[in-house]
Amino acid sequence: MNSAPRSADPDLVGYSLANVSELLLACLDAVGARSVLEIGAFRGELTGVLLGWAADHEASITAVDPLPAPELLELAAAHPKLVLLRELSHQVLGSAELPDAVILDGDHNHYTLSEELRTIAERSSSSALPLLVFHDVCWPHARRDSYYAPERVPAEHRQPLVRDARLQPGNPGIAETGLPFECAAASEGGERNGVLTAIEDFIAQREGLRLAIVPAFFGFAVLWEERAPWAAALAATVAPLDRNPVLERLEQNRVAHLVAGFSRRQELDDERRHSAGLRRILASMLDSRAFTLAAALSRLRRRRDPVVSRPAIRAALQRRDG
């Protein structure tokens, strides 16, 4: 595994497809891809991997992101062959020539992905679809939308949403603590909700499609047409990992630990905020005349062990500060 995902992802969330790069590149090789379009490139972890592969394969890489992170801009500056488009997926898919492979990893909601798939299908109506690669086909996005910019999705196609949502596997609503999302559907499941649901809805409208799901790092999937000349080579590449039950258990285990780690940190943060409030109250009490009076009274009544004691409270406050 190359080191890029770790250095860019100190919490080891595993959000980048670079975590499955060996598999993804094997799929590109199986289909003989010479042009790849990455929708949603973020910091360019995967883009960097693709550029390395492209150099050995005389292939071209186009990355699309309306808000490229500084790391991606640096990557583009260092690799003049990379075409970086600061646009939305539907603008690019509607106009640019379709490549051999499209990696769909932009806005993870049913509407956006369905529109992307519809456009690709319309534009390749006379030929086979390009290889379609997806991320986030397992928990949490398989059956739950999230939105980078909800206003870009027409209101009638948006799920009721929650800002600053925290998600836990097994909880179809919003949890107190868990994996954080800026904007997620209030509930998991139901019609037109989630990435996998969008893929299944697309498959239901067409004949001859095959889907393989590799349940690792939030779920990697490839979708292809059986009539494509490379279909058998691709099927053989992904078959051993497709819905592999050992991988499924590993991913459930990984996600459980990831969510538990986030939850512990969020609980600690809540605890810290709470105790900082208490400390502020105690500190202002210490300086009050009411406290001086109460301490004097307390000393009078219980000389050896006063209930209200300034040194005891100061010592407690210092312990917390240290």
Do 54 and 60 form a contact (C-beta atoms < 8 A)? yes
C-beta closer to ligand SAM: residue 147 or 224: 147
- Selected from 12, 67, 260, 307, the binder of ligand SAM by CB under 6 A is 67
Dihedral pair phi/psi, residue 35, rounded to 5°: -145, 130
What is the end-to-end Cα distance of the chain in Å, rounded?
40
- Selected from 37, 64, 142, 196, the binder of ligand SAM by CB under 6 A is 64
CB of 218 to ligand SAM, least distance (A): 9
C-beta closer to ligand SAM: residue 5 or 178: 5
C-alpha separations of 83 from 45, 77, 166, 176, 233 in Å = 15, 10, 35, 42, 28
Token pair of 202, please?
A: 């697309």
CB of 77 to ligand SAM, least distance (A): 18
CB of 13 to ligand SAM, least distance (A): 10
Site for ligand SAM in 189-228 (CB under 6 A): none
C-beta closer to ligand SAM: residue 3 or 126: 3
C-beta closer to ligand SAM: residue 89 or 193: 89
- Selected from 21, 62, 109, 112, the binder of ligand SAM by CB under 6 A is 112
CB of 8 to ligand SAM, least distance (A): 8
Dihedral pair phi/psi, residue 10, rounded to 5°: -60, -25
CB of 90 to ligand SAM, least distance (A): 7
**Contact status: 262 vs ligand SAM (CB under 6 A):** no
Site for ligand SAM in 15-44 (CB under 6 A): 15-18, 38-42
Q: In this chain, which residue has its C-beta nearest to ligand SAM?
A: 40
CB of 158 to ligand SAM, least distance (A): 14
Do 33 and 6 form a contact (C-beta atoms < 8 A)? no
Do 256 and 169 form a contact (C-beta atoms < 8 A)? yes
Element (H, E) at 93: helix 89-95
Element (H, E) at 123: helix 110-123
Strand stretches in 168-265, DSSP E: 179-185, 209-214, 220-225
Token pair of 166, please?
A: 């925290």
Residue length of the chain:
322
- Binding string, residues 235-254; x marks residues near ligand SAM by CB under 6 A: --------------------
Query: Comparing C-alpha atoms, which of 112, 117, 111, 113 is closest to residue 130?
Result: 117
Judge if the upstream peptide bond of residue 169 is cis by omega within 30 degrees of 0: no
**Contact status: 107 vs ligand SAM (CB under 6 A):** yes
CB of 124 to ligand SAM, least distance (A): 19
| Owner of token pair 């210092």 | 318
C-beta closer to ligand SAM: residue 148 or 291: 148
C-beta closer to ligand SAM: residue 105 or 145: 105
From the number of C-beta atoms within 10 Å of its C-beta (0-12, 13-18, 19+), residue 217 rates as: buried
Token pair of 71, please?
A: 């790391």
The C-alpha atoms of residue 228 and residue 221 are separated, in whole angstroms, by 17
C-beta closer to ligand SAM: residue 228 or 255: 255
CB of 71 to ligand SAM, least distance (A): 10
Do 61 and 36 form a contact (C-beta atoms < 8 A)? yes
Site for ligand SAM in 127-186 (CB under 6 A): 148
> Which region, judged by CB under 6 A, interacts with ligand SAM, from 60-68, 137-145, 190-198, 236-244?
60-68
Contacts with ligand SAM, residue ranges (CB under 6 A): 15-18, 38-42, 45-46, 64-67, 88-89, 105-107, 112, 148
